[in-house]
Structure 1
Amino acid sequence: MEAKPKLYYFQGRGKMESIRWLLAAAGVEFEEEFLETREQFEKLKNDGRLLFGQVPLVEMDGMLLTQTRAILNYLAAKHNLYGKDLKERLRIDMYIDGIQDLMMMIIGAPFKAPQEKEETYALIVTKAKTRYFPVFEKILKDHGEAFLVGNQLSWADIQLLEVILMTEEVCAPVLYDFPLLQAFKTRISNIPTIKKFLQPGSQRKPPPDSHYVEVVRTVLRI
């Protein structure tokens, strides 16, 4: 029996959360080891398990996978979530890069000083409404299909749903002016593997709190 992937990261979202989403959407069960001390992190580095001295780290298929984008690329290709040809893969990559720009703003916000944090959240909502969500609303309208690329679930769909839900945590009515994205959210959320991941008790992590921020700062010394 093939061993379950093992994820090494903090007990929170960060850069690992999109990896959790992709595994869950593909129906892959995984185990996690949470980093809580600097000593755990140093041991991973000293054992040569972190290629560039960074997490996330995923142990699977007899390999140690590092660098978030490389891990996501591998998982998407392995589980048929990366398009049927190079042109579809290019579109997925373009959409992912846009999604990532917004997502990284949200991921970084909790680590800012209170005043700057509030300004960042306001900027996130503005950019979501004026730069990112209008693009995906148009893509869905022009494409006329249930998914962003081709007519099957891809990594881009999964990550767009993830960032929509993250943005709604900042501003609940953010999709008010985007009816196609509202329908997309409902549609993708009801895919059985994703619906399961969205249920209480899954390995999906909650929004970052002050404890998570403190643990990350302590372990990484930032």
Structure 2
Amino acid sequence: MIALPYNCLDTKSSTSMSELVQCNMRYYNACYTMWPSLSSCRNAGTDSEGRCEGMRILLADQGAEWNEEVLTFDQWLKGDQKAKAVFGQLPGFQDGDCVLYQSNAIMRYLARKHGVYGKDLVTQSRVDMMNDGVEDLRVKYLRMVYQNYEEGKEPYIQSLPAELKHFERALRENNNGQSFIVGNEISFADYNLVDLLHNHLVLAPECLKEFSLPLLTCVLVSERERSDLTG
């Protein structure tokens, strides 16, 4: 496993989205199977990769292999997958006899299995806390995208400094930005944060620069460097 901390002493030039996400688009044929969400924010012009993307980033970084069975809407309606889904929605995930639905349940399963959930109860609880913060912002993002994109985009972007400063502060307070979002080892909250930042950079490519969020910028620079090593 590659485990590079966020090194903000080495800030590279701006990175294109294609470079940032190139490792996350790899698909493998192996032990895990995922059924991605039927729709993504791409339909609203934001080019998001949906709720499986954090899982992809985690698995790619951990060197794990997986395959994806992408269902069309027609297959979803007419097939048996919808009936099997506990809450009638995707994504879904299978690891041997273990079948799960709900994206955060899947993320936590993978985090426990690959040792990226923290080593003790306090660390795990802090990882949960930061991940809950990521999900709170994701809910606001998705609400804007699906319910009020045209009129809500600019006000949402203007609200980002207040939203993202919480993660910037958490990074700064943890070893002055030279480590991860919690502790000294990467966790699933880091992977989920990277996914959310990807979404926002597509929505507003210059948001991290314009809002003076250098440590969050370094999160993405570090993710690119990790991707180069694991790719």
Could you tell me the TM-score, scaled by structure 2's length?
0.73
SS at match of 1:190: helix
Partner of 2:7: none
The letter for the 2-side match of 1:117 is: Y
Q: Aligned runs of 1:16-165 on 2, under 5 Å?
A: 16-45=52-81, 49-112=84-147, 116-131=148-163, 133-144=164-175, 145-165=178-198
Distance 1:45 1:89 in 2: 32
Deviation of the 1:79 alpha carbon: 0.7
**Aligned residue number for residue 17 of structure 2:** none
d(CA) in 2 for partners of 1:6, 1:106: 27
Let me know the Cα RMSD of the aligned residues: 2.4
Distance 1:34 1:122 in 2: 33
| Counterpart in the other structure of 1:188 | 223
Cα distance change on mapping 1:89 and 1:123 into 2, 3 Å: farther
Deviation at 1:41, TM superposition (A): 4.1
CA contact (8 A) 1:24 1:193 kept: no
| 1:7 matched residue in structure 2 | 34
Aligned residues, how many? 190
- Whether contact under 8 Å (1:102, 1:124) holds in the other structure is no
* Alpha-carbon shift at residue 105 of structure 1 (Å): 3.4
Distance 2:50 2:92 in 1: 13
Counterpart CA distance in 2 for 1:171 and 1:111 is 17
User: How far is 1:141 from its partner?
Assistant: 1.4
- Cα pair distance change 1:129/1:146, threshold 3 Å: same
CA 1:34/1:169 → structure 2, altered by over 3 Å: closer, same or farther?
same
State the AA in 2 paired with 1:183: C
Structure 1 gaps of 5+ residues are 197-222
Deviates more, 1:142-151 or 1:13-22: 13-22
Q: Which moved more, 1:74-83 or 1:179-188?
A: 179-188
- TM-score, normalising length from structure 1? 0.75
Residue 173 and residue 19 in structure 1: after superposition, are their counterparts in 2 closer, same or farther (change >3 A)?
same
1:114-157 CA-partner distances (Å, limit 9, x unpaired): xx2123322432332112x2111111111113211111111111
C-alpha distance in 2, partners of 1:55/1:21?
Answer: 18
Contact 2:180–2:190 (Cα < 8 Å) also in 1: yes
User: Are residue 171 (structure 1) and residue 207 (structure 2) matched?
Assistant: no
Is the CA contact 1:5–1:60 (under 8 Å) kept in the aligned structure 2?
A: yes
Residue pair 2:53, 2:195 contacting (<8 A) in 1 also: no
Instruction: Tell me the secondary structure at the aligned position of residue 94 of structure 2.
Output: strand
CA distance in 2 between partners of 1:34 and 1:194 (Å): 28
1:3 to partner: Cα distance: 4.8
For residues 56 and 33 of structure 2, the distance between their equivalents in structure 1, rounded to whole angstroms, comes to 11
C-alpha displacement at 1:158, in angstroms?
A: 1.3
1:59 is paired with a residue whose SS is: strand
* SS of corresponding position for 1:191: helix
Q: What's the % identity of the aligned pairs?
A: 28
Structure 2: tracts of 5 or more residues without a match: 1-28, 41-48
